[in-house]
C-alpha cells in the first residue's frame, strides 16, 4: 500500500510541475491577457484521479505560477479558485456535469470576485470572457489527455 501512495504522490507532483511549466511558459495572447494550459492539468487530474487530487494539483499549480510569474498578491486567490475548480471538476457519476459547471463558476466567478477587490469591478468584468475561454480550453485539452492515457496507469496508483 505504501508503494502505491508514493507512486501517486510522484505522479501528482509531476502533473503539478508540468501544469506550472505549461501555465507559466506557454501563453496564448487574448485581448485582456492570455490563455494558459494550467486548467488542462487540473481537468486531467480531476478526470483521472478525482476531486481531492485535482484540488491539490489545481491549488498548488495556481499558487506556484503566481509566485514564479511575480504576482504574489494573487497567490492565495489562485490557490482558492483553482483548488475549488479541481475539487468540483472531480465529481463523478451523475454529478459530473454539475461539477464541471461549478468548476467553471469557481474559477471564473472567483477571479471576478477577487479581481474586483484587487482592481475594481470594471477590470474584473473585462477578464470574465478570457477566464471562461481558458477554462473551456483547459477542459477540452484535459479531457483529450484523459482519453489518451491508458486506464492501466490509474490502476497502478490506486490507494485503498
Domain extent, residue 133, equals 1-27+38-151
pLDDT tens for 97-118 read 999 999 999 999 999 999 999 9
Q: Is residue 21 part of a domain?
A: yes
CA distance 149 to 158: 15
pLDDT tens for 19-74 read 999 888 887 776 666 778 899 999 999 999 999 999 999 999 999 998 988 889 99
Q: Is residue 158 part of a domain?
A: no
Q: Is residue 128 part of a domain?
A: yes
What rounded mean pLDDT belongs to the chain? 89
CB of 132 closer than 8 Å to CB of 108: yes
CB of 51 closer than 8 Å to CB of 89: yes
Q: Is residue 118 part of a domain?
A: yes
Q: Is residue 113 part of a domain?
A: yes
Q: Is residue 12 part of a domain?
A: yes
Work out how many domains the chain is built from and give that number.
1
Q: Which CATH number does the domain housing residue 102 bear?
A: 1.10.1760.20
Q: Is residue 133 part of a domain?
A: yes
pLDDT tens for 61-76 read 999 998 988 889 999 9
Predicted local distance difference test score (pLDDT) of residue 26: 82
Predicted local distance difference test score (pLDDT) of residue 155: 54
pTM: 0.89
Q: Is residue 134 part of a domain?
A: yes
Amino acid at each position: 500500500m505504501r508503494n502505491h501512495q508514493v507512486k501517486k504522490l510522484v505522479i501528482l507532483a509531476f502533473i503539478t510541475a508540468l501544469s506550472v511549466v505549461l501555465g507559466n511558459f506557454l501563453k496564448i495572447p487574448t485581448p485582456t491577457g492570455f490563455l494558459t494550459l494550467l486548467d488542462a492539468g487540473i481537468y486531467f487530474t480531476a478526470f483521472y484521479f478525482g476531486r481531492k487530487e485535482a484540488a491539490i494539483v489545481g491549488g498548488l499549480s495556481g499558487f506556484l505560477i503566481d509566485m514564479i510569474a511575480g504576482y504574489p498578491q494573487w497567490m492565495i486567490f489562485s490557490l482558492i479558485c483553482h483548488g475549488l475548480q479541481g475539487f468540483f471538476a472531480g465529481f463523478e457519476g451523475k454529478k459530473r456535469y454539475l461539477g464541471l459547471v461549478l468548476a467553471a463558476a469557481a474559477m471564473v466567478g472567483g477571479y471576478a470576485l477577487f479581481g474586483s477587490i484587487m482592481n475594481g469591478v470594471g477590470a474584473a468584468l473585462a477578464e470574465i470572457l478570457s477566464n471562461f475561454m481558458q477554462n473551456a480550453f483547459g477542459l477540452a485539452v484535459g479531457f483529450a489527455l484523459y482519453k489518451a492515457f491508458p486506464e492501466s496507469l490509474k490502476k497502478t496508483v490506486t490507494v485503498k
